[in-house]
Structure formats: structure tokens, C-alpha cells
Amino acid sequence: MRSELIYSAGMQIPNRFLLSTVAMIAVRKLHINTTRVEETANQVFTDVANGSYVQVTLPELKPLPHIDTLMISTAA
């Protein structure tokens, strides 16, 4: 069942957004047109649960640019 595969994969990559990104990229790269996408996704979740694709890290965030303060003056 896919929910069990996702749960097992989530134990390897606890950040669910990172897990979904890794799974999406892996499905795109591994999918063969003659197979169903569901089967490819199940295989990817199985591979993640077994330890493949686990060496991923979140990218370092760049600091946001400084925003000047807005000076509002009343109309005379």
C-alpha cells in the first residue's frame, strides 16, 4: 500500500516537503513510458525507505535584501 511506503520513506527523510521533492525528481528521471507512473512512484518510495536518495540536504537560504522604511506623510 502506498501510504505504508510513504510512511517508511518519511522515516528516512523526515521533512515532508523535501521527501516530496526528492520523490518527484526521482520519478521524473526513472519513469519509463511503457510503465505506469504509479509503479514508478511506488518503486521510488521503496528505494527511499531502503536508504537510496537519502543523502539530500536543504539548500542554504540566501539573506533577503534590505527593504527601506516607507515614509508616509499626510496630504495637506
pLDDT band of residue 71 (cuts 50, 70, 90) is confident
Into how many domains does the chain fold?
1
Please check whether residue 19 lies inside any domain of the structure: yes
Overall average pLDDT of the 19-30 stretch: 90
pLDDT at residue number 36 = 93
Distance CA 38, CA 76 (A): 66
- Residue 36 sits in which domain range? 2-49
Please check whether residue 6 lies inside any domain of the structure: yes
Which residue has 496630504 as its cell numbers? 75
Which residue has 500500500 as its cell numbers? 1
**Is the pLDDT confidence value at 56 over 80?**
no
Overall average pLDDT of the 56-70 stretch: 78
Please check whether residue 55 lies inside any domain of the structure: no
Residues 26-44 pLDDT 10s: 999 989 999 899 999 999 9
Answer whether 11's CB lies under 8 Å from 20's CB: no
Which residue has 528521471 as its cell numbers? 29
Distance CA 47, CA 53 (A): 8
